[in-house]
A and B are shown apart, each in its own frame.
Chain A
């Protein structure tokens, strides 16, 4: 296997691995809570996609921006979100990031540049161009990582956003977290061309494909794109190929794909792959890896307890937060 380690300090590599563990643990807990009927509404799990989330978002500085998708828990955690506040939000608590008003699809932490998961496919893309424009106009060195899926690449907003960002040389990186399916529609049936990255040429911007389950490969490619954005060279389109192990949302019977396909991708699980790589490179040993994983599950349990003990929003505050 041709792996190369970008020159990252060991501490950062371990942080990345632990973040991937934390995303996995969080998502599994959320899955469990839904199955038990403790969580309400719906959610879209990103289990299997941790390589892309962590590989890409780790490139960013603390105050860079992201816009995300309806499948955004992983991006949120990779961006440094407090999983207690996330869990509280998913349980509809007043202590949640959005005071229980947003839920899974609208989790955001504006102060740290997380402009939210989005319930509209491609809905965050025009917003990302605006944020990038704003930074450019104010001469502030903050870029925007705009994450969207393969389904979104067929929305008009994708076209308009890439085009305008290209025309105005905006500091935004468009990252297609390509997991091969919209809800049930495979990307092969939804597009005539092979890859979303091919579309970059239509906008006059660089486009590149990367193995989304190889966290360091994602890091490398996104890093280059972010540097281009920071240097005023405008936007890039990156397609990060990955796969979601779970269904689209909670009531997905996976009729549109085979168990065999899911199994094949599970063999390429980005987390054990990365852990093995780091162990092989002598960055950590088995024991430390197991400890990191256990710590992630413990942290998620703690987050759950925090959420459980948090108050529900007071109905008397129903009308708050609409207008400034």
Chain B
């Protein structure tokens, strides 16, 4: 298992990177199969599974009726009995319809059975706002899943990470919730051409810096990096960290950075109240890094409203680049340049 190294890479979109991981997994392991709504002929609502039905056939790329509970439960039952299913929920908001199977069954079967079962299943689904799809198609519910022992929760922010993390997730002998950001599907980035996995539970320092730590989830990573560029021009070096996995969380990397910079800004699109930023903040505050903080830990998150439809309202509802920039300065108690 190698970390992503700048070797031979090719540009690829995030959606293509996910597809590549699915395809390679299906080529190398006959137990891997896909199920979900409109993943076959339609190629997936966001085109992620395009071409896979043609290549692998109906047995392994299964279009389902609109039945989230049984999509989840069927995947769990198949995983319990020798297969490695990857089930797609068309929008992560719809996973709410499958919560019993995910939370009460899949997450807990191994433990309830005294460790004598395995549930190697991946539930992948798009989350996030910015596409004008309004309240029931735009949520970020990763904190709900991260709260459940028995699942692992992954949020990739780049094509290279999406590919490596999904490969790892499919190999993982546990229930993985793999949350892709819908607005990122078309984003491009370099992806190494060799086969690799990114271990779950390892954060990635996307940019090193010594003045302020910005911990960003999913789509906030690219916004934080843009902010870091602006701050650099002002002589402020921001360290941008992408946790990549929320459960298990790479606490060590986050604490070390907090200790180094003394200023921590956490940003996620999910609603601030009850968002995973609170967990991250609490872990840092409870660690040795506390004594090195020069300011209270700051969090940015979505407003306490459902995601609105109108374009500007939707933007106002979640942290944008400018919000992150302002917050960073506020945290450092400097005026913007």
Which of chain B's residues have a CB closer than 8 A to the CB of A164?
Answer: 64-65, 67, 70, 74
Task: Tell whether, in the assembled complex, residue A131 and residue B77 are in contact, meaning their CB atoms are under 8 Å apart.
Answer: yes
Which of chain B's residues have a CB closer than 8 A to the CB of A138?
Answer: 82-83
- Which B29-77 residues have C-beta < 8 A from chain A? 33, 59, 62, 64-65, 67, 69-70, 72-77
Task: Tell whether, in the assembled complex, residue B149 and residue A322 are in contact, meaning their CB atoms are under 8 Å apart.
Answer: yes
Task: Tell whether, in the assembled complex, residue B115 and residue A321 are in contact, meaning their CB atoms are under 8 Å apart.
Answer: yes
Task: Tell whether, in the assembled complex, residue A102 and residue B81 are in contact, meaning their CB atoms are under 8 Å apart.
Answer: no
Task: Tell whether, in the assembled complex, residue A324 and residue B118 are in contact, meaning their CB atoms are under 8 Å apart.
Answer: yes
Task: Tell whether, in the assembled complex, residue A130 and residue B78 are in contact, meaning their CB atoms are under 8 Å apart.
Answer: yes
Closest chain A CB from B72 CB (angstroms): 7
Which of chain B's residues have a CB closer than 8 A to the CB of A54?
Answer: none
Closest chain B CB from A167 CB (angstroms): 7
Q: How far is the CA of A102 from the CA of B109 in the complex (A)?
A: 9
- The answer to the question of A161 belonging to the interface, with a C-beta cut-off of 8 Å to chain B, is yes
Contact-residue bracket for chain B: 35 or more
Task: Tell whether, in the assembled complex, residue A160 and residue B117 are in contact, meaning their CB atoms are under 8 Å apart.
Answer: no
- The answer to the question of B173 belonging to the interface, with a C-beta cut-off of 8 Å to chain A, is yes
Task: Tell whether, in the assembled complex, residue A130 and residue B76 are in contact, meaning their CB atoms are under 8 Å apart.
Answer: yes
Task: Tell whether, in the assembled complex, residue B112 and residue A108 are in contact, meaning their CB atoms are under 8 Å apart.
Answer: yes
Which of chain A's residues have a CB closer than 8 A to the CB of B33?
Answer: 137
- The answer to the question of B114 belonging to the interface, with a C-beta cut-off of 8 Å to chain A, is yes
Closest chain A CB from B105 CB (angstroms): 6
> Chain A: how many interface residues by the 8 Å CB criterion?
45
- The answer to the question of B318 belonging to the interface, with a C-beta cut-off of 8 Å to chain A, is no
- Which B169-205 residues have C-beta < 8 A from chain A? 173-174
- The answer to the question of B79 belonging to the interface, with a C-beta cut-off of 8 Å to chain A, is yes
Q: How far is the CA of A173 from the CA of B62 in the complex (A)?
A: 22
Which of chain A's residues have a CB closer than 8 A to the CB of B73?
Answer: 123, 125-127, 129-130, 157, 161
Given A108-B117, A126-B101, check contact A133 B111 (CB 8 Å): no
Which of chain B's residues have a CB closer than 8 A to the CB of A129?
Answer: 70, 73-74, 77
Identity of the chain A residue whose Cβ is nearest the Cβ of B109 in the assembled complex: A116
Which of chain B's residues have a CB closer than 8 A to the CB of A157?
Answer: 69-70, 73, 100-101
Task: Tell whether, in the assembled complex, residue B59 and residue A137 are in contact, meaning their CB atoms are under 8 Å apart.
Answer: yes
Q: How far is the CA of A115 from the CA of B59 in the complex (A)?
A: 24
- The answer to the question of B110 belonging to the interface, with a C-beta cut-off of 8 Å to chain A, is yes
Given A123-B104, A123-B105, A323-B150, check contact A110 B113 (CB 8 Å): yes
Which of chain A's residues have a CB closer than 8 A to the CB of B76?
Answer: 126-127, 130
Which of chain B's residues have a CB closer than 8 A to the CB of A199?
Answer: none
- The answer to the question of A163 belonging to the interface, with a C-beta cut-off of 8 Å to chain B, is yes
Which of chain B's residues have a CB closer than 8 A to the CB of A67?
Answer: 77
Which of chain A's residues have a CB closer than 8 A to the CB of B104?
Answer: 119-120, 123
- The answer to the question of A254 belonging to the interface, with a C-beta cut-off of 8 Å to chain B, is no
Which of chain B's residues have a CB closer than 8 A to the CB of A65?
Answer: 81
Task: Tell whether, in the assembled complex, residue B105 and residue A120 are in contact, meaning their CB atoms are under 8 Å apart.
Answer: yes
Given A126-B72, A127-B76, A322-B149, check contact A134 B111 (CB 8 Å): no
Closest chain A CB from B166 CB (angstroms): 18
Task: Tell whether, in the assembled complex, residue B80 and residue A130 are in contact, meaning their CB atoms are under 8 Å apart.
Answer: yes
Task: Tell whether, in the assembled complex, residue B74 and residue A133 are in contact, meaning their CB atoms are under 8 Å apart.
Answer: yes
Which of chain A's residues have a CB closer than 8 A to the CB of B80?
Answer: 110, 115, 127, 130-131, 134
Contact among B62, B65, B85, B174 with A324 in the assembled complex (CB-CB below 8 Å): B174
- The answer to the question of A99 belonging to the interface, with a C-beta cut-off of 8 Å to chain B, is yes
- The answer to the question of B335 belonging to the interface, with a C-beta cut-off of 8 Å to chain A, is no
Task: Tell whether, in the assembled complex, residue B77 and residue A133 are in contact, meaning their CB atoms are under 8 Å apart.
Answer: yes
Task: Tell whether, in the assembled complex, residue A126 and residue B69 are in contact, meaning their CB atoms are under 8 Å apart.
Answer: yes
- The answer to the question of A101 belonging to the interface, with a C-beta cut-off of 8 Å to chain B, is yes
Closest chain A CB from B202 CB (angstroms): 16
- The answer to the question of B116 belonging to the interface, with a C-beta cut-off of 8 Å to chain A, is yes
- Which A118-157 residues have C-beta < 8 A from chain B? 118-120, 123, 125-135, 137-138, 156-157
Closest chain A CB from B37 CB (angstroms): 12
- Which B127-182 residues have C-beta < 8 A from chain A? 149-150, 152, 173-174
Q: How far is the CA of A67 from the CA of B78 in the complex (A)?
A: 13
- The answer to the question of A181 belonging to the interface, with a C-beta cut-off of 8 Å to chain B, is no
Q: How far is the CA of A320 from the CA of B101 in the complex (A)?
A: 22
Which of chain B's residues have a CB closer than 8 A to the CB of A98?
Answer: 112-114, 116
Task: Tell whether, in the assembled complex, residue B113 and residue A108 are in contact, meaning their CB atoms are under 8 Å apart.
Answer: yes
Q: How far is the CA of A167 from the CA of B67 in the complex (A)?
A: 12
Residue in A106, A119, A127 whose Cβ sees the most chain B Cβ within 10 Å:
A127
Q: How far is the CA of A163 from the CA of B67 in the complex (A)?
A: 9
Task: Tell whether, in the assembled complex, residue A99 and residue B114 are in contact, meaning their CB atoms are under 8 Å apart.
Answer: yes
Contact among B70, B120, B174 with A160 in the assembled complex (CB-CB below 8 Å): B70
Given A126-B73, A130-B74, A130-B75, check contact A97 B114 (CB 8 Å): yes
Q: How far is the CA of A157 from the CA of B77 in the complex (A)?
A: 14
Closest chain B CB from A127 CB (angstroms): 4
Q: How far is the CA of A104 from the CA of B79 in the complex (A)?
A: 24
Task: Tell whether, in the assembled complex, residue A134 and residue B83 are in contact, meaning their CB atoms are under 8 Å apart.
Answer: yes
Which of chain A's residues have a CB closer than 8 A to the CB of B75?
Answer: 130
- The answer to the question of A51 belonging to the interface, with a C-beta cut-off of 8 Å to chain B, is no
Q: How far is the CA of A207 from the CA of B68 in the complex (A)?
A: 25
Task: Tell whether, in the assembled complex, residue B116 and residue A110 are in contact, meaning their CB atoms are under 8 Å apart.
Answer: yes
Which of chain A's residues have a CB closer than 8 A to the CB of B67?
Answer: 160, 163-164
Task: Tell whether, in the assembled complex, residue B77 and residue A130 are in contact, meaning their CB atoms are under 8 Å apart.
Answer: yes
- The answer to the question of A96 belonging to the interface, with a C-beta cut-off of 8 Å to chain B, is yes
Which of chain B's residues have a CB closer than 8 A to the CB of A323?
Answer: 110, 150, 152, 173-174
Closest chain B CB from A29 CB (angstroms): 22
Query: What 5 additional pairs, Cβ within 8 angstroms, besides A116-B112, A126-B69?
Result: A123-B104, A130-B73, A131-B81, A137-B78, A168-B62
30 contacts between A and B (CB under 8 A): A98-B112, A101-B111, A102-B112, A116-B112, A125-B73, A126-B73, A126-B74, A127-B76, A127-B77, A127-B101, A128-B77, A129-B74, A130-B74, A130-B75, A131-B81, A132-B77, A133-B77, A134-B81, A134-B83, A137-B59, A138-B83, A160-B65, A161-B73, A164-B65, A164-B70, A167-B65, A321-B110, A321-B111, A321-B115, A324-B118
